Structure 1
Amino acid sequence: MKWERLRRAVVPAMAAAMVLLSGCTTYVSTQVTAFSNWSGSDATRTYAFARTGEQQNSIEQATYEQLVANELEANAFRQTARASAHYLVGLTYSTHGDTVTITQPVFYGSPWPGPYWRPLNPWGPFGPFPPDYVTQSYPVFTHTLGIRISERVSGKEVYNVTARNTSEDSSLVHAMPYLVRSALADFPLGNGVVRTVRIRYDKHGAVLTNEVPVAPQPAGASSAAPK
């Protein structure tokens, strides 16, 4: 009897927690932070990707570069050979796992036959008997993408943007389209801008076009990215 009550309490709590972690709606929220010294014109928007030693000959790197290239093309950038590129574009990315713990009250059903008007039910939320609490822990993963644009000849950094979101999905591959789209939305952002970009989630993995960015905040302001 006790285990059956516990099962009835835990299952709804787990379901509620998964809804919370998945964002409760059909949107993926990403926090974007940009640092900018951008003064380029469309005529000079030629670029090549710059890779670290570990990124050389990496299929994963090439996959993410293609996503970034598609967004850069939408912002009038043109990919060329490194020797003739005005800018170099470097990528960093990572996934960090953590655990979230959720505690919820549990009101067991009355052991005696009713009926009760719910507010007067002694075993309900307004009764004299306090609830038990069930605590569940769930894994969550923070996915991060950094895009750095610098002048090839001088090495001067002109744009540096970081996109970060959290999900119960451990796959960086699944998160990357949303990270890329969010990072380069409304390019170029002002220096020190922190904002949250929401993009509608598609279960087939495609990034849909009706993103809803939250208004940018001035440098130094904090912004929490809802999940």
Structure 2
Amino acid sequence: MKSDRWTGRFMLMLVALTALLSGCTSYVTTQVTAFSDWSGSDASRTYAFTRGPAQQNSLEQQTYEVLVANELAVRAFRQVDAQQAHYLVGLSYGTKSQAVSVTEPVFYSSPWPGPYWGRPIDPWGPFGAFPPAYVTSTYPVFTHTLGVRITDRATGKEVYNVLARNAGDEASLVRAMPYLARSALADFPLSNGAVRTVKLPVDKNAGMSNEAAGAPAPGSPVAAPTVVQ
């Protein structure tokens, strides 16, 4: 039927538009929340990573530590043996998924021919568009998080705790981690209770965004972050 052809064309247009918008995405947007009692000087910025029981002998943990170590080095931190370190740095990370339902209108044109009687040509048919039908689609959304906790080794006092979080249709935490690590330590140290949104350019060679899949293998993006207050 004619209405079926119109519906098929409309759905194809939606798919094409979605693909186009995904391809235009150029930033990864991450929310960062920090709690801080930081008063350290550059001279005392020596640290070692500490691991929980489940993180021992973990290649995944080691991979993420390299990413965070790269960002700490930019901020004058120096990794040393645990017995010589002023600070201990612990990482927490994970991914949660949920289904999100979106209801969108779908318009159908009139299937019946008829005279226009001098009316302007209506692209939806001689009697105008029918009221829209609504179609509900369900999409998976993945929320990735990275927490970085810095404590004073001698006293055990927590001096900095930051959480970076972003969400999208990328299921892989390892693809999101370079952006999480860079965002978590942007503008270190943040003030206590600071909440910021950090936008990082997508790596055009193999990057990912919140809305589209694909990201670099472990290794930090090179472009400077944009911090939105």
TM-score range, shorter chain: 0.7 to 0.9
Offset at residue 158 of structure 1 (A): 0.2
Partner of 2:25: helix, strand, or coil?
A: coil
Partner of 2:200: helix, strand, or coil?
A: strand
> Is the CA contact 2:34–2:163 (under 8 Å) kept in the aligned structure 1?
yes
Segments of 5+ residues of structure 2 without an aligned counterpart are 207-215
The letter for the 1-side match of 2:93 is Y
1:33 match: 33
Using a 3 Å threshold, how does the CA distance of structure 1 residues 87 and 98 change in structure 2: closer, same or farther?
same
Greater mean deviation of Cα atoms: 162-171 or 95-104 = 95-104
Q: What pairs up with 1:1-227 in 2 under 5 angstroms?
A: 1=1, 4-14=5-15, 25-111=25-111, 112=113, 116-117=121-122, 122-124=127-129, 129-203=130-204, 204=206, 205=216, 207-215=221-229
Offset at residue 17 of structure 1 (A): 5.8
Partner of 2:96: helix, strand, or coil?
A: strand
Supply the distance in 1 between the matched residues of 2:32 and 2:23 (Cα, whole angstroms): 17
Using a 3 Å threshold, how does the CA distance of structure 1 residues 32 and 117 change in structure 2: closer, same or farther?
same
Partner of 1:54: helix, strand, or coil?
A: helix
Using a 3 Å threshold, how does the CA distance of structure 1 residues 187 and 23 change in structure 2: closer, same or farther?
farther
Using a 3 Å threshold, how does the CA distance of structure 1 residues 7 and 105 change in structure 2: closer, same or farther?
same
Kindly provide the CA deviation profile for residues 48-68 of structure 1, in whole angstroms up to 9, marking residues without a partner as x: 000001101000000000000
Using a 3 Å threshold, how does the CA distance of structure 1 residues 104 and 15 change in structure 2: closer, same or farther?
farther
Greater mean deviation of Cα atoms: 60-69 or 105-114 = 105-114
TM-score with structure 2 length normalisation?
Answer: 0.83
Paired residue total: 210
CA RMSD, Structure 1 to Structure 2 (Å): 2.5
> Is the CA contact 1:30–1:182 (under 8 Å) kept in the aligned structure 2?
yes
Supply the distance in 1 between the matched residues of 2:126 and 2:192 (Cα, whole angstroms): 58
Offset at residue 122 of structure 1 (A): 4.0
> Is the CA contact 2:7–2:107 (under 8 Å) kept in the aligned structure 1?
no
Using a 3 Å threshold, how does the CA distance of structure 1 residues 23 and 150 change in structure 2: closer, same or farther?
farther
Q: Which has the larger radius of gyration?
A: 2
TM-score with structure 1 length normalisation?
Answer: 0.83
Offset at residue 134 of structure 1 (A): 1.4
Segments of 5+ residues of structure 1 without an aligned counterpart are 216-227
Offset at residue 118 of structure 1 (A): 5.3
> Is the CA contact 1:107–1:123 (under 8 Å) kept in the aligned structure 2?
no
> Is the CA contact 2:122–2:128 (under 8 Å) kept in the aligned structure 1?
no
Offset at residue 7 of structure 1 (A): 3.7
2:210 match: none
